[in-house]
Chains A and B, each alone.
Chain A
């Protein structure tokens, strides 16, 4: 239904001057590499999922209320590589997998607006802000790798140098998961207390301290299936502090 709008949005992203204002806070943009973007919303079918256990990461707070697809910002990695973006809703009705190309200079600071994140803005408004999990990963030469463990988080509101990292994960209903970071206390993940938990079933909230410059932080996610602790080491990109 919104498909005819897409070329218009695409052209808007290319208008020179939108991203050129140097003094004002830089508005970076990334546009999808594939047209139309690959997304899927159908309440009658099961989720198109696949990939890693972590399905969403948000650095900083998200305003309570509906999910706003036109203001999704992703941390900008310094190397300006294309990004693989995966998204899934908690109920599994919505999912998306796309590659985004940065159209602005990348220096590792601030966020990049996804333009567009979705063509299903109205449908996504029906979800709460935290009900759509999304996370980006750097694209490799072969394309997007399943099981990629370098994560680039979505950005929420960050004030000062302390922020909360919300990790949304699909523990496959195994019931117990926690995050271990060297030199820090373990963070237990909590089951999502909501109706349907098809796309993801647990969330973990990590305290994060931001540096002046961007950095990469490592942690281990442990999912306990009742017999074995399944460990995965992840690296997450943290942008520099926004002054």
Chain B
């Protein structure tokens, strides 16, 4: 009787011990995995269509816009305004570090609006014209209006810093009849009747996730398959919330450009940023991005040989044992 009990106990204890051993080994593997592949902040590629982009300049030197064919409605004295008519402008627009830059799409035009950023006063923009003295601007926002044709002839508009794409605010202003802004076009033959867009909303877009390779070259990125996000219409994509910059400027968290969307959905924005710097705000929620550790690990080219090794081992080890057993029983 005693013997039977002891045998039963042993039968129970052995699998239990093996289970514990497997548990310990699995924990060690996960730990080792963490050592080999430290947690990386995935890289995001934003591909968005939006009526509105706003950012605070993190690198003044790279945020300069070479402007041709623009119009200024309320030009300051240093831009030689023509009384009662829009002032044409061809100039280099150089925003100051920390200045707020907005690109506002309209059905006929795109407005570039420059203003002082939060916490930065003084001069926010320098307008440079050929053979003219620099025109420094402070105080009220400064707006340049570009007909679509003029924008298409320019280099993509830079986006460098922290800010937002789209807006989730529900407009409550009572609809009013606002007369269009008349801009001369071409050689003055026709005029453009410019109207504002229905709202500064985001039309939609996708965010692709790229993992960063864990070893060797830090700069290596790789595509994480099936890790694309759709951004719903009407959201606000915020970048750089809570990030702190250096030298008083905004942190350099988003690098990208905006052009006129060929399909008429506002401005087409393409930009790179880190996943931890981006939040998507819909009218009811705030969302952040994350790419699963396993998903990124599977796609990581520097990890792939290790995974291949493990997979081969798992396949080969039982196979070899089975072959050995077959040979042994035949003898």
Interface residues, chain A, with chain B CB atoms under 8 Å away: 43-47, 49-53, 55, 91-93, 146-147, 170-176, 178, 186, 188, 190-191, 193, 195-201, 223-228, 230
Q: How large is the interface on B (under 10, 10 to 19, 20 to 34, 35 or more residues)?
A: 35 or more
Determine which of B118, B139, B199 lies in contact with A173 in the assembled complex, contact meaning CB atoms within 8 Å: B199
Q: Which of B167, B172, B181, B281 sits near A52, CB closer than 8 Å?
A: B172
B115 surroundings in chain A (CB, below 8 A): 176, 188
The closest CB in chain A to the CB of B171 belongs to A172
Q: How many A-B residue pairs have CB under 8 A?
A: 121
Seed contacts A52-B173, A188-B115, A197-B167; 17 additional CB < 8 Å A-B pairs = A52-B174, A91-B284, A146-B174, A170-B169, A170-B170, A172-B199, A172-B200, A173-B200, A175-B54, A193-B118, A196-B286, A197-B281, A201-B169, A224-B143, A226-B106, A227-B104, A227-B111
Contacts of B102 in A (CB 8 A): 175-176, 226
User: Can you name the residue of chain A whose Cβ is closest to the Cβ of B286?
Assistant: A195
Chain B residues with CB under 8 Å of A91's CB are 284
A53 smallest CB distance to B (angstroms): 5
B178 touches A226 (CB 8 A): no
A237 to chain B minimum Cβ distance, whole angstroms, is: 21
Q: How far is the CA of A186 from the CA of B286 in the complex (A)?
A: 34
- A173 and B168 form a contact (CB under 8 A): yes
- CB within 8 A of B283: which of A92, A171, A201? A92
Supply 25 A–B pairs (Cβ within 8 Å), ascending by A. Answer: A46-B170, A46-B284, A49-B172, A51-B174, A52-B172, A52-B173, A52-B174, A53-B173, A147-B174, A172-B170, A175-B52, A176-B141, A188-B115, A191-B118, A196-B281, A196-B283, A197-B236, A200-B169, A201-B169, A224-B141, A226-B102, A227-B109, A227-B111, A227-B195, A228-B181
Assess whether A230 is in contact with B178, with CB atoms less than 8 Å apart. Answer: yes
Residues of A within 8 A of B196 (CB): 225-228
Q: How many angstroms between the C-alpha atoms of A223 and B104 in the bound complex?
A: 14
Chain B binding surface, main DSSP class: loop
Partner of A43, one of B106, B169, B284: B284
Query: How far in angstroms is the closest Cβ of chain A from B232?
Result: 13
Given A47-B283, A226-B196, A227-B145: A198 in contact with B104 (beta carbons within 8 A): no
A198–B236 Cα gap in the complex (Å)? 11
Q: Report which of B143, B170, B178 forms a contact with A198, defined as CB distance below 8 A.
A: B170
Q: What CA separation (Å) do A44 and B282 show in the bound complex?
A: 12
A132 to chain B, nearest CB (A): 16
B272, CB-defined interface residue at 8 Å? no
Contact: A225 with B172, CB < 8 Å? no
Return the chain B residue nearest A93 by Cβ: B284
B140 at the A interface (CB under 8 A): yes
Contact status A186-B173, CB under 8 Å: no
Query: Which of the residues B111, B140, B167, B176 comes within 8 Å of A186, measured between beta carbons?
Result: B140
